Structures are given as C-alpha cells and as structure tokens.
Structure 1
Amino acid sequence: MPYDHRPWQPGNAYFFSAHLRDRQSRLLIEQAQGLRLAFRVAQLARPFRINAIVVLPDHLHGVWTLPEGDDDGHRRWTQIQAIFDRQLPGMPPRAVLRRDRTARPLWHSGFREHRILDAEDFDRHVAYVHQNPVRHGHVREAAEWPYSSIHRIARGDGPC
C-alpha cells in the first residue's frame, strides 16, 4: 500500500514495510552494511528509535518510534532510501531517475505504514517483523536470520 500522506503523529510508534521493485532481487541482504549505514545516518540527522527491524532480500519491515514533537516519518524513510541508493555502484542518482522515465527506480514509490495503537498492537507487529524470515522460508527459527533486530532484543540491548 503506498504512503497516502496521512499525518504521522509525534511520539508514536509505526510499523512499516518497504519493497524493491525487483521482487527477485537479493540486494538488501547483499548490501546490508550500506542499508545499516543509511539508517544510522538518517537517525543522526533526524533521530528516531528503531524498535524492531528485519531485512529480507527484496523488502524490509520495521517498527520505529518518532520523537515527541516530530511527525516527519515519511521524510525519514525517503532519506534512508536516498542514502542507500547513492551508495550502490552503478546506480544513477534519484534525481536522474525522476527525469528519465525509462529508468526504473530501485524502490516501489511508496511504503506501507500503520500507526501502532497500543501495547498489544506493538507486540503483535514486533513479532510479525521478527517472524517474517520464517514465513518466507529463509530459516526455521527467527533467531537464525542474521538481518534482524531479534538478536539485539535477545541480548537485552533493547531498540536500535
């Protein structure tokens, strides 16, 4: 579901999913370090807490919390995409992709998001995030998937 420009609410937690256009791609796990860097750079520029995240070959899911007084979750995600895209060898800049309609952007134009309603909804979405590699048949146990925040939570490190 594309982003429908509903206002994000300051201090709230959100579940989100983002997909690459190429559903056969393995780019996100092949370039996991670059994606991690993109998230860290975006967090430095516009802080937010990553409560849970999982990166699969062609898509990712996460739960993050915006700071009090800040409702700009959409801009954070577009910044993460732009930072990640710029790091990829051979990828034209996003501005070029916008002008050249024959070039297909890396990501689907929008991303799915859902405002977390309460503690039960939060727990359900964090579990969904962490179980996703199992659902897709990548591993038998969620803790076996290396591209997941489940390891931080299991160690007691808390959110990213």
Structure 2
Amino acid sequence: MATENPSWQPGSAYFFSAHLRDRYSRLLVEHAQLLRLAFRIAQQARPFRINAIVVLPDHLHGVWTLPDGDEEGHRRWLQIQAVFDRQLPGHPPRAMVRRDRTVRPLWHSDFRERRLVDADDVQRHIAYVHSYPVQHGFVREACEWPYSSIHRRCAREGGPC
C-alpha cells in the first residue's frame, strides 16, 4: 500500500495508518477505551464515518469517509491524537508538547493517508484492515481480535464473523 499525501477531498474515503513512536508500546490496546473516546469526540466536533478500523498495540489502520463539503481529514487526526494524549494517565509530559500542538510526542509524525478511488478500492481496504491481525500473527481468525470494527460489521450483517 503506497503512501500518498493527497489533499483531502470532500465526501471521499481514505485509508489511514498511524504509529506510535515506540514500536514496542502496547498503549493503544491497553488504553483502547481512551482511543475510542478520542475518536468519538472528533466525530462529534467534525462528523465522519469510520468504515473500518483495527487497533494494534503500537499502531492502527482504518478507512474513514468525510462528509460532502468537508476537507478537514487531517485536522480530525490531530484532534484524535490530542484527546488521546490528554486522557492518557501520565503521558505525555506537558513540557514535551510543542506549542503549535501539531507534533505529539507519543505519535510518529508520519500519519499516512491514501484517498480510495472507488467502491471496490474501499472494500479492498476494509478487508485489508480487518485481516491485518491475522496477517501479522496476532490471531488465527479476524473476529478473534477484540480491537477491530469487524465485530460491528458482523453484528450489522447478522452473521458470524
């Protein structure tokens, strides 16, 4: 999956990936509820649809869709980071947060996003997101990974994962 740096386009779906600086960290799964809260707050401030998401110990992948007339995708990510960082007990030390607040000490600065070109591309990336824990040996079946939107999809479709 090549990294692009597109300008955000209203109504478009995007694949995104974000990593913590510490590759050995487990913060994202240990504090999954705080991450969920950060996404919810960002959605309330600037609505968007999460098509798929999977949270791993030190990074996450997802697909989200911006509403028509909205190009603020990157701002959403900055807000998610900021809320997560503020809610995390003891992290980060306040002195480490830059004044412009665009660089967060916990997060690698290389937030990756890629605009998806059509409905097939969206479905391929949703499948990729949901299969990621299996591909990397965390679980045998995608539905065994607790930090994935695959459970929401299965419930919506009324069947097993």
**TM-score, with length taken from structure 2:** 0.88
CA distance in 1, matches of 2:70, 2:148: 26
The one-letter code of the counterpart of 1:33 is Q
- Tell me how far apart the structure 1 counterparts of residues 116 and 24 of structure 2 sit (CA, whole Å): 30
Measured against aligned partners, the alpha-carbon deviations of 1:7-28 in whole angstroms (never above 9, x if no partner) come to: 1000000000000000111110
The code of the aligned residue for 2:64 comes to W
**Closer/same/farther in 2, CA of residues 87 and 73 from structure 1, 3 Å limit:** same
SS of aligned partner of 2:23: coil
Which SS does the other structure have where 2:71 is aligned?
coil
| 1:69 equivalent in structure 2 | 69
Q: What is the deviation of 1:97?
A: 2.5
On the 8 A contact 2:18/2:112 being kept in 1, the answer is yes
CA contact (8 A) 1:82 1:94 kept: no
Kept after mapping to 1: 8 A contact 2:53/2:61:
yes
Report the Cα offset of residue 98 of structure 1: 2.0
Unaligned stretches of 5+ residues in structure 1: none
Structure 2 segments unaligned to the other structure (5+ residues): none
Contact 1:17/1:62 (8 A) holds in 2? yes
Question: In structure 2, how many angstroms separate the alpha carbons of the residues matched to 1:135 and 1:119?
Answer: 23
Q: 1:36 maps to which residue?
A: 36
Percent same amino acid at aligned positions? 74
1:39/1:80 contact within 8 Å kept:
yes
Q: After TM superposition, what 4+ stretches of structure 1 lie above 3 angstroms from structure 2?
A: 1-4, 92-96
CA contact (8 A) 1:2 1:109 kept: no
Q: Which amino acid is 1:155 matched to?
A: A
Query: Residues 65-84 of structure 1: CA distance to partner in whole angstroms, max 9, x if unpaired?
Result: 00000011000000000000
1:24 counterpart residue number? 24
TM-score by length of 1: 0.89
